[in-house]
A and B are shown apart, each in its own frame.
Chain A
Amino acid sequence: MTAIKFDQVSKQYTKGKKLLKEALIEVARFKRAEQFWALKDISLAVEPGEVVGVLGPNGSGKSTLLKLIAGVTEPTTGLVTVKGRIAPLIELGAGFHAELTGRENIYINGSILGLKIKEIDRRLKEIIDFAELVEFIDTPIKHYSSGMYMRLGFSVAIHVDPDILLIDEILAVGDAPFQAKCLRAMNQFKNQEKTMVIVSHASDLLESFCTRGLVIWQGSLAFSGPMTEALKEYRRLLTEQYGNHFNHGYHSHPE
């Protein structure tokens, strides 16, 4: 059974029109809003237990790919099928309110990620322990450091017991101990044969961690195969486009 399936998926965006005035002008001038394709004709299948790393320069369509998997946006043409509960580690601490305590925010964030109150009750202790926030859990999170905030968000996200994890540059945030902790949690998921899709510019992480690599280039799927091959292909494309000095430079190119 396939976990994630894209069948000739394309996604077109209309460039922003945010004011009534602009819409009226467009109608008056018989002008249509400018459109562009963020993804073109992507077909791929991810099997349960696969750990997929996605490579591509900024603006290549990686985020759109994650949004389509997460189901927050619909393809313009084609079909996206996803089986299982998704944990988007894209927005840590979704719905957190600064005035409320850590404990109250666990419930809000957990419900947003699709947990029932009873499920949160059962996992509460684990979530607090993992976040290392036992002493501060009844403090409003406006008094939290950014590290504490991230730990709490991450802890809730990994406790939703997902089948599929979507990870977007998660290791770019937080200090070294937090990153180590994330990595341990991710390894645990890998051992449990969870499906993971990771977008990152950290090539060594991807190389050591992923079982498959995808290269998204200008909205198209340029390569799909073993991670080492994917990295080679990505370097080749970068060199072709920008010249030799980009050979090693893409990871110093954060979002």
Chain B
Amino acid sequence: MIFGFIPLVNQWGELIQQLTQREIKARYKQSILGYAWVVLAPLLKLTTLSIVFKYFFKINTGEIPYSLFLFTALVPWTYTANAVSAATSSLIANAALITKIKMPRVIFPISAILVKLVDLGLSTAVLLALMLTMGQPIYWTIIWLPLIFLVQMVMTLGVSLILSALNVFYRDVENLLEVFLMIWMYLSPVIYPPEYVPETWRMVYNLNPMVGIINAYRNTLLYGVAPPWESFGYAILVTAGVFIIGWRYFQKRQAVFADVI
């Protein structure tokens, strides 16, 4: 499986790069505001959610200001949600290519996920600015970030592979996606601390890989400690499982994409 990945990048890396650049350039040309929205939308979300959950629900995040607590999770979560969403419709969107020209179809979800990295970069810059203005110290544990991010990317790709392949056969996947992402967000510690989840449910709750990933981001960015190994360990295991299932399922189904799309 991993051995399938290396020739893919060797032979088709340039095409992945071209398709990714195509979307980024096209969006930039359509409107500069397209990217301004990438910064403005999460800031609006952040403000609203901060007011509601800090002042109405009185969620307690200790010494860390709630807005910062929220934003460290909202940034990675928004990336995964947007990337999965774009990847799910990526095969249908490229139906004309899939039915006419031979190429590994996995290129389309991969490129959809990569396109969203621009948004992630911009919102991360906003997060950093927020951290600095609020006097949040930057800890040496920041060196964990590449590993956490790698796990998140692999997990996002795994989920995207499953959903994009399913969507070719059942168009309602696209309609169910919004509900799926909403449930997923509420079952992840984005707007509340994971300690709010009753102890008895913690084991099941941790099976959601997003839990470990978000906890790891908060630990390393806000508290200056290593990722919490019980939940982040789960996240790595589940991520590996999701990716293997996703990759296999996609490879098995792609032979008939052109017939049913």
Chain A residues in the interface with B (C-beta under 8 A): 13-14, 16-21, 23, 67, 70-74, 86, 88, 90-91, 94-95, 97, 99-100, 104, 107-108, 111-114, 116-117, 140
Contacts and interface: CB of A to CB of B under 8 A. Distances in A.
A21 B171 CA distance: 10
B162 interface: no
Contact of B101 (A14, A17, A94, A107): A94
B153 interface: no
B30 A99 contact: yes
Given A20-B170, A116-B14, A140-B29, A108 B22 contact: yes
Interface of B: 14-15, 18-19, 22, 25-26, 29-30, 94, 96-103, 169-173, 255-256, 258-260
Given A94-B97, A99-B26, A23 B170 contact: yes
A100 B29 contact: yes
A72 B261 CA distance: 12
B258 A67 contact: yes
Contacts of A104: 22, 25
A113 B12 CA distance: 11
Nearest to A109: B18
Nearest to B94: A95
Contact of B99 (A13, A17, A21, A72): A72
Given A111-B15, A111-B18, A140-B29, A70 B102 contact: yes
Contacts of B14: 111, 116-117
B260 A95 contact: no
A94 B170 contact: no
Contact of B102 (A72, A111, A116, A140): A72
Contacts of A108: 18-19, 22
Given A23-B170, A67-B258, A112 B15 contact: yes
A91 B102 CA distance: 12
13 contacts: A16-B260, A18-B170, A20-B172, A67-B99, A70-B101, A72-B102, A74-B256, A91-B101, A95-B97, A100-B25, A100-B29, A112-B18, A112-B101
Contact of A72 (B19, B94, B98, B169): B98
B166 to A, nearest CB: 9
Contact of A73 (B94, B96, B97, B258): B258
Nearest to A22: B170
A88 B101 CA distance: 7
Given A14-B260, A95-B97, 5 more contacts: A19-B172, A70-B101, A107-B18, A111-B14, A111-B19
A94 B97 CA distance: 6
A35 to B, nearest CB: 11
A97 B260 contact: no
Contacts of B99: 67, 72
A97 B255 CA distance: 26
A111 to B, nearest CB: 4
Nearest to A82: B102
Nearest to A104: B25
